[in-house]
Structure 1
Amino acid sequence: MGSEAGIVRKPRVLCLHGFRTSGEILKKQIGKWPQQVLDNLDLVFPNGAHPAQGKSDVEGIFDPPYYEWFQFNKEFTEYTNFDKCLAYIEDYMIKHGPFDGLLGFSQGAILSAGLAGMQAKGVALTKVPKIKFLIIVGGAMFKAPSVAENAYSSPIRCPTLHFLGETDFLKPYGLELLEKCVDPFVIHHPKGHTIPRLDEKGLETMLSFIERIQKTLLDEEEK
């Protein structure tokens, strides 16, 4: 890679959508970001592991079909089909990868941050390359003890970018997740639980994050 006269390849990113939406919807949501961000990342948008098992909050805003990654109880402490979800993501990464990092929104963000820790512990994504960075939009931590134990037993060491919305109901939990990260970048925005547009400051942070991950990738490839 270094022999290509320092040409930086685009980081390849697996993008995990929110609960009861779809890869196509996430693609539209992220499409609002400036071209200089989108042109610097190779973004891939799979659909969740399961068709939606109930009403979607985006009905009437985005067209179906809708998907979910796994199901959970009201307290978010017990999950159904979680192992199937992990196997589905790993399988997708084997077939369509390799991927350098993960981007997630909402349920996809919770999953992305958890996957990095579970992979580091050797309990998930054991057949694919190491996750080198995370972009977390409207994220939180897993509450189910059995999952949380594996996901956060040690700090998240790869560079992470966190979007924190002023009026997002998940913001307190997003801040908890931030505490677990060793190398975090943060974009604050005035909105709620959504994928925001990038203002000037947000764009600046995003571009320095992309620069940071390109450096990580170059360093790894030169080893």
Structure 2
Amino acid sequence: MASKKVLMLHGYAQNATIFSKRLGALRKACGKDIDFVFVDGPHVLTPADLAEAFRSTNESSSLDDLGAPEAATEADPALAPRGWWNVDAARTKTVGLEDSIMLIREYLLKDTYEGIFGFSQGAAMAALMAALLEKPEVFPPFLVDGKAPHPPFKFCIAAAGFRPKSPLCDSIFLPSYSTPTLHILGRTDVIVVEERSKTLVDVSSNKRVEWHDGGHFVPSKANWRNFLKAYLKDPTGDVPSPSTTSASQPASGTATPVTPSL
């Protein structure tokens, strides 16, 4: 039986290498059943980009604080901090989002993916791609011979996601999208707070919401690994909530910066 391919989108200031490393325990748990395809965001973040991110995020002051110390390693280009977009000075438009859409389009043209899984800014991007596959005509450059380049995803996993602010995103998301989406939210997340997460949850018409008691990361304890493994195997199945097997989730897993207006 062939492995299920899942597109994996990292958070802001991470990259494919770092995100893959952070999810090593989940990858090991899934074995050969799931083929995780980690994608690098097209935009290498400059010191000015990161300085603006830290300026806008009072709770965080460095990549190390945010769980992405590898991204500060200038000697290795493979560990350069990346993003799916930046924002304009007024924080009302996504700058470079179109490049990211077209990058993922190339992946979709070359292979078939069961679903998409993103964290933080990557979660926003994952949900955006799921919604765009449902109505690709709203962004004509995405089309191939007048049609979507790939069938709609069977599922989307959005950990610490949010709905970006831009006219293009509004045209893609509104009034809603219907791809089955698992939203994973942290009760003590101060980077993407509940109010911001709700902006994405609210446009997801076929949603499941699971909470963990930690902050801005993908939970990685055994109960969550088992839950995600089961969900990835059968997204439409009756998979028990991980919250029923553990009262709390200590901070572990993945953490990256996200500016409040991204």
TM-score bin, normalised by smaller chain: 0.7 to 0.9
Q: Does 1:58 align with 2:63?
A: yes
What is the rounded CA distance, in whole Å, between the counterparts of 1:74 and 1:37 in structure 2? 42
Of 178, 184, 202 in structure 1, the residue corresponding to residue 207 of structure 2 is: 184
Residue number in structure 1 paired with 2:177: 156
Indicate conservation of the 8 Å contact 2:124/2:163, yes or no: yes
Q: Which of 37, 43, 52 is the matching residue for 2:36? A: 43
Following superposition, the deviation at residue 199 of structure 1 comes to 4.6
Larger strand fraction of residues: 1
Q: C-alpha distance in 2, partners of 1:161/1:136?
A: 6
Q: By how many angstroms is 1:22 displaced? A: 0.6
Match of 2:121 in 1: 107
* Identity among equivalent pairs (%): 24
Per the alignment, in what secondary structure is the counterpart of residue 130 of structure 1?
A: coil
In 2 relative to 1, CA 37–58 (structure 1 residues): closer, same or farther, beyond 3 Å?
farther
Q: Which residue of 1 aligns with 2:132?
A: 118
Query: 2:156–2:179: 8 Å Cα contact kept in structure 1?
Result: yes
1:54-98: per-residue Cα shift (whole Å, max 9, x none)? 338535721432222121136642121222221111113323x22
1:183–1:93 CA distance, 2 compared to 1 (3 A): same
Moved over 6 A (4+): none
Task: Report how far residue 134 of structure 1 moved.
Answer: 0.5
Q: TM-score, normalised by structure 2?
A: 0.69
Structure 2 residue identity aligned to 1:128: H
Task: From 93, 105, 112, give the equivalent of 1:90.
Answer: 105
Output the CA distance in 2 between the equivalents of 1:197 and 1:102: 18
Unpaired runs of 5+ residues, structure 1, are 1-6, 216-223
Aligned residue among 18, 35, 55 for 2:11 = 18
CA deviations 1:105-164 (Å, max 9, x no partner) are 1111111111222221213552223222111111001221x1232222243222211110
The residue type paired with residue 63 of structure 2 is: V
> Is 1:166 equivalent to 2:187 in the alignment?
yes
Indicate if the aligned counterparts of 1:34 and 1:198 stay in contact, CA closer than 8 A.
no
Paired with 2:23 and 2:173, the residues of 1 have a C-alpha distance of 27
Measured in 2, the distance between the counterparts of 1:43 and 1:178 equals 24
CA RMSD in angstroms, aligned pairs only: 2.5
Q: Which residue identity lines up with residue 103 of structure 2 in the other structure?
A: Y
Instruction: Label 1:205 to 1:154 Cα distance change in 2 as closer, same or farther (>3 A).
Output: farther
Against the structure 1 CA distance between its residues 211 and 13, is the aligned structure 2 distance closer, same or farther, given a 3 Å change threshold?
closer
How many residues are treated as equivalent by the alignment?
A: 205
Structure scoring higher RCO (CA < 8 A, sep ≥ 6) equals 2
CA distance 1:154–1:51, shift in 2 (3 Å): same
Taking structure 1 as the reference length, what is the TM-score of the superposition? 0.79
Contact kept? 1:161, 1:209, Cα under 8 Å: no
Unaligned runs of 5+ in 2: 52-61, 74-78, 143-147, 238-262
